[in-house]
Amino acid sequence: MDEQKLAMNRRRFIAGLSAAGVGSTLMPGALAAVAQDADEITVEMLEAAQRIAGLRFTPDELEAVLGRLNRSGGNTAAYETLRAANLGNSTQPALVFNPVPPGMTLPTERRPMRRQEMTVSMPATDAELAFLPLSHLARLVETRQVKPSELTELYLARLKQYNPILHCVVSFTEELARRQARQADEEIAAGTYRGPLHGIPWGAKDLLAVRGTKTTWGASPYKDRTIDTDATVYSRLTDAGAILIAKLSMGALASGDRWFGGRTRNPWNTEQGSSGSSAGPGSSTAAGLVGFSIGTETRGSIMSPSTRNGVTGLRPTFGRVSRYGAMALSWSMDKIGPMCRAAEDCALVFDAIQGPDGRDNTVLDVPFNWDATADVTRLRVGYLRSGVEDDIEDDPENPQRVARQRQNLANTRAALEAIRGLGVQVAPFDLPDLPTQAISFILGTEAAAAFDVPTLNAQLDSMRAEPEESRWPDSFRASRFVPAVEYLQAQRVRMRIIEEVHEALGDFDLFFGSNVGLTNLTGHPEISLPNGFFQGSPTSLRLTGKLFGEAEILLLAHAYQAATDHHLQHPTL
């Protein structure tokens, strides 16, 4: 090979291979430095590749690798076959992540749901009605004090009134909503009541496919796209009688609160974004624009907007809720959960959407037994010592951040005392120091595979501009340089981490505290609920449960909310 061609190939590897998207998952290093029209791989290319991957093979070892990669064209023909397979975003991988550590026994007993008994009277104003928790709305519908069609028109009107301020709606589903509301009116009038979600208007994060509606994923390349399928979560909520009134905003491709329609706002402080990526569900639920909403989390996308907007959000155990018909970002980390105004609301919605559907092969058949009347004092509760006992250090360069952290800590300590006041025994414990940051590239690697084709053809590059300002295109390209061997090693380390967390939790049912970087890798459930305020904006209490321990964290959250009123506060718009 002449020097000019060699230099050209070297430049392709160093500067342009990520854009070309040609790679080898079998070579030691990151990607095979081969452009589609290159004659052969060179030692120089391998040397550069192993530097990216942090390897140190000797010259003799590289020569041996070189012979294997250049033999009959190496693996590049296979890679081209994979890229021609048109896998899209919805094809599941054959490898299935299971968060259950060896030896853990899953519950099998199924018991009937027991809701909180209550008597609810019709509020004096529409605004008071709009901000009622789902459990209260359900009683009003069940006792025929309000019709589903009346609730639907109320929430549609509020969405239209406040969406220009909050930017939380991608598209309204008015025709569908009114049709579903009429059906609910007729069924309830005829004595057919499906349950607590019957006749309740809700909003879906716009990564759930619904036939006849746009499903944009918050990203400009998909802003006019429809998907001819119904997500399992939508189908199950429809079967329960819930009424879809809007597809709600999300950060572009599930990151942040910026999407092609602008930036979704926090109704408590409209100068501030609502956080994300479940931006619209958090904002609209807090503002009383929907009865409840559905969000998703891969690494903080339910917890963060629930905190920012002061709503109660549940991130279930990985493998609880089918993701069929939902955008895939990370097959081993994506989770779907409810965002509501109260803990029992989350329990009612979660009960409707959880369980296998035969379409998402990660979902396990584990019972969820909600009993609002259960004895909360029987829960075995811990608290993270570092999150409660450690004081916040001064930072002269950022006094506002320090002030907020100190108020958060004060509110968490007050919540802990409130829980103790209910007769619950709470003991300190520590999580081990675990190398979660070292395996955090799992998310980006899986996301790069999920969006491989639109990355290779530069379809996503328009997302880099305002208003999205997305970093995903660069992240997807960078993830092309993750070695396949290291990805699998990271998954092996992940199982060790799961085992260590399982051992550290011991006999605890749940603990006060949060570590979203850790528990989104281990698959543990978590709930965020408001526990006070800082300068007019909500702060949150986080409870993390054992695997498949949703009933326990919801029960403690419900008991705390029965003794406090933080979740009943709402913003003035």
The mean pLDDT value for 221-225 works out to 97
437 secondary structure, DSSP code: G
pLDDT band, very low/low/confident/very high, at 31 (cuts 50, 70, 90): very low
Residue 13 has pLDDT above 80, yes or no: no
Residue 72 has pLDDT above 80, yes or no: no
In the chain, pLDDT over 90 holds for what percent of residues?
88
**Pick the residue with more confidence: 172 or 67?**
172
CA-to-CA distance for 142 and 198, rounded, in angstroms? 8
The mean pLDDT value for 120-139 works out to 98
Nearest one of 25, 35, 11, 96 to 334, comparing CA atoms: 96
User: Could you tell me which residues are beta bridge partners of residue 338?
Assistant: 294
Top-level CATH class of 126-357+370-432+496-568?
Answer: alpha beta
CB 225 within 8 A of CB 151: no
Which pLDDT belongs to residue 510? 98
| Domain limits, CATH 3.90.1300.10, in the chain | 126-357+370-432+496-568
Q: What are the φ/ψ torsions at residue 326 (nearest 5 degrees)?
A: -105, 150
CB 40 within 8 A of CB 20: no
Catalytic pick among 274, 278, 301, 540: 301
Which pLDDT belongs to residue 8? 45
Unique residue bearing structure tokens 């933080």: 566
Catalytic pick among 147, 205, 247, 335: 205
Counting Cβ atoms within 10 Å, is residue 59 exposed (0-12), middle (13-18) or buried (19+)? exposed
Going from the C-alpha of 499 to that of each of 84, 98, 332, 335, 522, the distances in angstroms are 39, 12, 17, 20, 9
User: Could you tell me which residues are beta bridge partners of residue 265?
Assistant: 273
Residue 85 has pLDDT above 70, yes or no: yes
HSE, side-chain direction, 13 A CA sphere, residue 82: 15
* Average per-residue pLDDT for the chain: 92
**What are the b/e assignments for 350-371, b being 16+ CB within 10 Å?**
bbbbbbbbeebebbbebebebb
CA-to-CA distance for 347 and 171, rounded, in angstroms? 27
Our measurement of the distance from residue 420's CA atom to the centroid of its chain's CA atoms, rounded to an integer in Å, reads 31
Nearest one of 211, 198, 281 to 246, comparing CA atoms: 281
CB 32 within 8 A of CB 13: no
Which pLDDT belongs to residue 25? 35
Per-residue 3-state assignment (H helix, E strand, C coil) for 293-309: EEEEECCCCCHHHHHHH
Q: How many residues does the chain have?
A: 573
Give the Cβ contact number of residue 461 at 10 Å.
15
HSE, side-chain direction, 13 A CA sphere, residue 199: 31
The mean pLDDT value for 246-269 works out to 98
CA-to-CA distance for 186 and 147, rounded, in angstroms? 10
User: Could you tell me which residues are beta bridge partners of residue 426?
Assistant: 381
The 10s digit of each residue's pLDDT in 397-442 is 999 999 999 999 999 999 999 999 999 999 999 999 999 999 999 9
Residue 118 has pLDDT above 90, yes or no: yes
Catalytic pick among 135, 249, 274, 277: 277
CA-to-CA distance for 519 and 502, rounded, in angstroms? 11
In the chain, pLDDT over 70 holds for what percent of residues?
93
542 secondary structure, DSSP code: E
The mean pLDDT value for 451-466 works out to 95
Which pLDDT belongs to residue 3? 43
The mean pLDDT value for 81-109 works out to 93
Whether 330 is catalytic is no
The H or E element containing residue 244 is: strand 243-248
CB 340 within 8 A of CB 565: no
**Token pair recorded at residue 54:** 């942090």
CB 55 within 8 A of CB 34: no
The 10s digit of each residue's pLDDT in 177-212 is 999 999 999 999 999 999 999 999 999 999 999 999
93 secondary structure, DSSP code: P
The 10s digit of each residue's pLDDT in 518-563 is 999 999 999 999 999 999 999 999 999 999 999 999 999 999 999 9
Whether 335 is catalytic is no
The H or E element containing residue 538 is: strand 537-545
Nearest one of 334, 350, 353, 333 to 342, comparing CA atoms: 350
Whether 301 is catalytic is yes
Which pLDDT belongs to residue 39? 65
Say if strands 169-172 and 243-248 run parallel, antiparallel, or are unpaired: antiparallel
pLDDT band, very low/low/confident/very high, at 375 (cuts 50, 70, 90): very high
Contacts of 354 (CB under 8 A, 6+ apart): 316, 320, 321, 368
HSE, side-chain direction, 13 A CA sphere, residue 85: 13
Residue 358 has pLDDT above 80, yes or no: yes
Per-residue 3-state assignment (H helix, E strand, C coil) for 190-246: CCCCCCCCCCCEEEEECCECCCCCECCCCCHHHCCCECCCCCHHHHHHHHCCCEEEE
Counting Cβ atoms within 10 Å, is residue 271 exposed (0-12), middle (13-18) or buried (19+)? exposed
Unique residue bearing structure tokens 């081990």: 432
Residue 17 has pLDDT above 50, yes or no: no
Which pLDDT belongs to residue 28? 33
CA-to-CA distance for 290 and 237, rounded, in angstroms? 14
Unique residue bearing structure tokens 């329990």: 347
Q: Which residue type occupies 406?
A: R
